[in-house]
Amino acid sequence: MAIDVLFKNGTIVTDFSMYKADVAVTGEKISQIGIGIKPDTKTQVIDCKGKLVLPGAIDAHTHLAMPFGGTISSDDYETGTRSAAAGGTTTVFDFILQDFGETFPDAIKRRDVIAAPQAVVDYSFHLAVKDIENKLLYTMEDAVKMGVPSYKVFMVYDFGVSDGVFYQVLEHSKHIGALIAVHAENSDLVTYLTNKYINEKKTSAWYHYMSRPEFVEGEADERAIQWAKATGAPLYIVHLANKQGMDAVKAARAEGYPIFAETCPQYLNFTKEVYKRPDGLNFVCSPPIKGKDSQVALWDGITDGDVQVVATDHCPFLKSEKKWGAKDFRKIPNGCAGIENMYPYMLSEANKGRITFSKAVEVCSTNVAKIFGLDHKKGAIEVGREADIVVYDKSKRVTIANKDMHGALDHTIWEGVSLKGYPVQTWSRGKLIFKDGKFYGSKGAGKFVACKPIKLKSPDLGSM
Ligand code: DUC
Ligand code: ZN
Ligand code: ZN
């Protein structure tokens, strides 16, 4: 078999080991891994001596061009996925918000016509459930057959669902190979606390946090886990940001329930104190960033395996849009950017010694593929998988600056954060798309990837 590209003399990182070997790519796939693989006359050889060779990250949680907070998130499928590529992310899972009255397959088609001509890296979707009336519930199965088996319910926002609907969706998911994800916050408490602070003329970004503090999220996590246990369905908690919820996830997993948790880099690197800063409104997202205890619990969860995924919740809004809420936190569009920063940040934390490189690969790539039914294609440097490959230079030092980012946003909460090590090349299905700060990809080259139906029966992803 001809070798098109050969990554020579690098150290391959898997979710459990690191070893020196060459990686051969034929067409779009990894065709051989071994020591001393000989190139053909036409093979492009990439010298990876002293470098790490990693699977591209899979961002399990993005909101590209999403109508939200009175505007549309500022990265579309082109700028968002270009930014992803520059940070070593080679697949994104974007959220589709179902319209009222819309079938799930129609929602997929509606968004895919927008994503397909724009995407630079591969993409898939999760569906956010708004409406299951009039037999719409039963169209979930058709979406599973189209390769979209993951659904998110919101317990907050005007399109959030009741506990009854949440329970029903969980019950149904078991029979059709779907996985339900949840945005867990207590809606009534958010409403009460928000009104209370506004009435007291407490309107700064700090009161965004104060109206959604730890227990507002923690109680909802506990309730969501309760419904998952009662129905026997697996559950994936998105953007977990608090210790109480972390403890509940840990306990449920210890009892053998298939409960999974995702957290995001903003919860790992910042604390609620950012909301007191003059630029605090730029950090406004929901759930908000919590206190130090929660941050420590989330890192412990990653180390212990109770947090399986780190994803971005990338939902960027321009500075001018964030300023709408300068005098009223309710008017700040919720969301932060991170699509270009997640893998560099997690790998840098590995390089600084907080976690292992294997752990960074596990939570940013391998586990995402396992949980969402993509492990036949993505998520590991393995023969037969697609050649989504990142070359990582451990010695490169980068201080994050928005001017060096590749998305459409005009600011970043990551400005000034120092990283030790950085991805220097990104390859998507055997094609170079990013190298040393320069983008080589093209609009429309990213393809929709269909996921397998999901059957998660235990908390252990290793023994599926
Ligand atoms: N939270 C955010 O901060 N932005 C998008 C959606 C969400 O739930
Ligand atoms: Zn959410
Ligand atoms: Zn989100």
Q: How many DSSP H helices and E strands does the chain contain?
A: 14, 19
3-state DSSP helix/strand/coil % of the chain, to nearest 5: 35, 25, 40
Q: What backbone torsions phi and psi does residue 57 show, to the nearest 5 degrees?
A: -70, 155
Give Cα 243 distance to the centre of its chain: 20
Q: Which residue's C-alpha comes closest to atom 7 of ligand 1?
A: 286
Widest CA span of the chain, in angstroms?
74
Q: State the ligand closest to the CA atom of 72.
A: 1
Q: In angstroms, what is the C-alpha Rg of the chain?
A: 21
- Give the Cβ contact number of residue 454 at 10 Å: 21
Q: Which residue's C-alpha comes closest to atom 5 of ligand 1?
A: 335
In terms of Cα–Cα distance, which of 346, 427, 349 is closest to 381? 427
Residues with CB under 6 A from ligand 1: 63, 68, 183, 285-286, 313, 315, 334-335
Distance 445 CA to ligand 1 centre (A): 28
- Residue 450, class by beta-carbon neighbours within 10 Å (0-12 exposed, 13-18 middle, 19+ buried)? middle
The answer to whether 313 touches 335, Cβ cutoff 8 Å, is yes
Q: Which residue's C-alpha comes closest to atom 1 of ligand 1?
A: 286
Determine the pLDDT at residue 462.
Answer: 81
Distance 288 CA to ligand 2 centre (A): 10
Distance 354 CA to ligand 1 centre (A): 28
In terms of Cα–Cα distance, which of 101, 177, 100 is closest to 140? 177
Distance 324 CA to ligand 1 centre (A): 17
Residue-level pLDDT, tens digit, the chain, 464 residues? 899 999 999 999 999 999 999 999 999 999 999 999 999 999 999 999 999 999 999 999 999 999 999 999 999 999 999 999 999 999 999 999 999 999 999 999 999 999 999 999 999 999 999 999 999 999 999 999 999 999 999 999 989 999 999 999 999 999 999 999 999 999 999 999 999 999 999 999 999 999 999 999 999 999 999 999 999 999 999 999 999 999 999 999 999 999 999 999 999 999 999 999 999 999 999 999 999 999 999 999 999 999 999 999 999 999 999 999 999 999 999 999 999 999 999 999 999 999 999 999 999 999 999 999 999 999 999 999 999 999 999 999 999 999 999 999 999 999 999 999 999 999 999 999 999 999 999 999 999 999 999 999 999 998 44
